[in-house]
Structure 1
Amino acid sequence: MTSPPNVHIEIDGRPAAGLDPAVIPVLQGAYGHFTAMQVRDRRTRGLALHLERLDHGTRELFGTDLDGDRVRSLVRHALDGSGRADAGVRVYVYGAAAGGGAPTVVVTVREPQSMPETPRSMMPVPFLRPVPHIKHAGGVGQPYYGRAAALAGFDDALLTGPGGEVAEGHIANVAFWDGTSLVRPDAPALRGITMTLLERLLPHERREVRLADLGRYPAAVLMNSQGLAPVHRIGTAEFAVDGALMSRLREAYGTVPWDEI
């Protein structure tokens, strides 16, 4: 296993070039989960939430816990190996290699990333992620529909249920502004770290949102670990780009502390 250009990969603290052959079947199976974080000066927002996500996912998928100190140590080691203090980092967790032992942890380090702040368009697609509360690896649905949206001239795909229930973007959470609160759709979806952090700072609620009802909301926003962006169109439904709202959201998110890894 070799690293793509500009991406540093470590598997259980060892560079991917020195991969133990016993781990190859585990990685090829793609049965695992991950978290994605932006790191600045070797710090990240919501570190405890990332570690909690990884531990809960490991317990559910593999029946064992994942020590947060081990994860932090592996991320620090990968940052050292990459020579980066600012980076986009992913931590993947797979099963143990042949012979048992602790789960296999893969850390990837690449250049830092930020979501473009330009207004986004989203194409509704008839797909919901399986086991949506876990940020799982593998699967063709999300990249398939993300590509389909791009080919159709949209920036992102919007995952929806059979009755038009809005769930999430294909790689981000979506929320709607009703004039007083952020509304998170209650269809099955991953609860993102950025969404969770913002909900601690702003009025919010969770309720059913359907494609047919999008006209009720004056504004919408897309968010993930890379940041926030306004949504100006979902299918044929158009939204105002509320500069004051986006400033308020970004200001609130800007107060979230950066935790030392």
Structure 2
Amino acid sequence: MTTPAQAPYVEVNGHPATEDDLRVAAFFPYGHFTAMQVRDGGVRGLDLHLARLDGANRELFGLPLDGGSVRGLVGHALEGAGVVDGSVRVHGLLPPGEGATTVMVTVRPPVRTAGAPQSLMSVPYARAVPHIKRPGEFGQTYYGRLAERAGFDGALLTAPGGVVTEGAFTNIGFWDGTSVVWPDAPALTGTTMALLQRGLGPAGSVRRPVTLEDLGAYRSAFVSNSQGIAAVHRIDDRPFDVDEALMGRLGKVYEDAPWDSV
């Protein structure tokens, strides 16, 4: 469930990125971002993305980040790239000596997870300040690559005591036969996760502590991120059923989420 490595079209504060712009972003990466899939100029859960950006900007820099301005910058970048569909990232940065947030928008070709069932390797790593989505996470990349070299599709991050938190680049949910269970642990609330929570409602989506020892209590599992939803068929050496009915229900909830124009 990763974005293909391809040079993006990049704008900074509404103009095509210069070498100096990219140099600043490379050498002063302290910041935050959100990733979204755009189709025909629309985004599912756009309000969630804008709220994430504003909240993170206030926490990191003490500055608001106006949602209307962000929408305009995303639309401008799509126009500059000559596309209406794309994988878009919006980064908030505050270079040294600057008093206003620098907004960098990157546009790549659209992607969607193939939906193939995933295998996950549990690893002993929990992100610092996990509720903020930010670039350059060494631990996530390190353990994700380690899992792939071991023959897995990705990594499952765990805190001390085997407490399940999130995937390296995904949220993880479990099915107990009645409700979707999201680990009640420090983690990023992904926009797809939030859309599923909205659509499933309080009876169909709950938060509960989950540990590696608890995994036998769940029939099925899945991961989600901005690229979509995929079943999990194995965590370490523990198999999970691929519940087609559950995946169909989750897929419908996600597909029913409205598109908002940027």
8 Å Cα contact 1:127-1:160 kept in structure 2: yes
Q: In structure 2, what is the Cα distance between the partners aligned to 1:77 and 1:200?
A: 30
8 Å Cα contact 2:158-2:166 kept in structure 1: yes
Question: How much has 1:201 moved relative to structure 2?
Answer: 1.5
> What runs of 5+ residues in structure 2 fail to find an aligned partner?
none
Cα distance, 1:119–1:5 mapped onto 2, change above 3 Å: closer
> Which residue number corresponds to residue 33 of structure 1?
32
**Percent identity (aligned):** 55
Q: In structure 1, what is the Cα distance between the partners aligned to 2:216 and 2:42?
A: 39
The residue type equivalent to 2:88 in the other structure is V
The residue type equivalent to 1:75 in the other structure is V
Matched, 1:128 2:126: yes
Question: How much has 1:20 moved relative to structure 2?
Answer: 4.3
Q: In structure 1, what is the Cα distance between the partners aligned to 2:81 and 2:250?
A: 32
| Stretches (4+) displaced over 3 A | 23-27
The residue type equivalent to 1:235 in the other structure is D
> Which residue number corresponds to residue 248 of structure 1?
249
Pairs within 5 Å for 1:83-94: 83-94=82-93
Cα distance, 1:5–1:118 mapped onto 2, change above 3 Å: closer
- Report the count of equivalent residues: 255
DSSP-derived class of the 1:201 partner = helix
8 Å Cα contact 2:28-2:95 kept in structure 1: no
> Which residue number corresponds to residue 180 of structure 1?
178
Cα distance, 1:115–1:26 mapped onto 2, change above 3 Å: closer
Give CA deviations for 1:92-111 in whole Å, capped at 9, x if unaligned.
1110453x332111100000
Give CA deviations for 1:196-222 in whole Å, capped at 9, x if unaligned.
111111111101100011011000010
> What runs of 5+ residues in structure 1 fail to find an aligned partner?
none
The residue type equivalent to 2:231 in the other structure is P
* Length-normalised TM-score, structure 2: 0.94
The residue type equivalent to 1:254 in the other structure is E
Matched, 1:220 2:218: no
DSSP-derived class of the 2:143 partner = helix
8 Å Cα contact 1:175-1:184 kept in structure 2: yes
RMSD: 1.4
> Which residue number corresponds to residue 66 of structure 1?
65
Question: How much has 1:26 moved relative to structure 2?
Answer: 5.3
Matched, 1:95 2:94: yes
Question: How much has 1:78 moved relative to structure 2?
Answer: 0.6
Cα distance, 1:97–1:43 mapped onto 2, change above 3 Å: farther
DSSP-derived class of the 1:179 partner = coil
Cα distance, 1:5–1:227 mapped onto 2, change above 3 Å: closer
> Which residue number corresponds to residue 210 of structure 2?
209
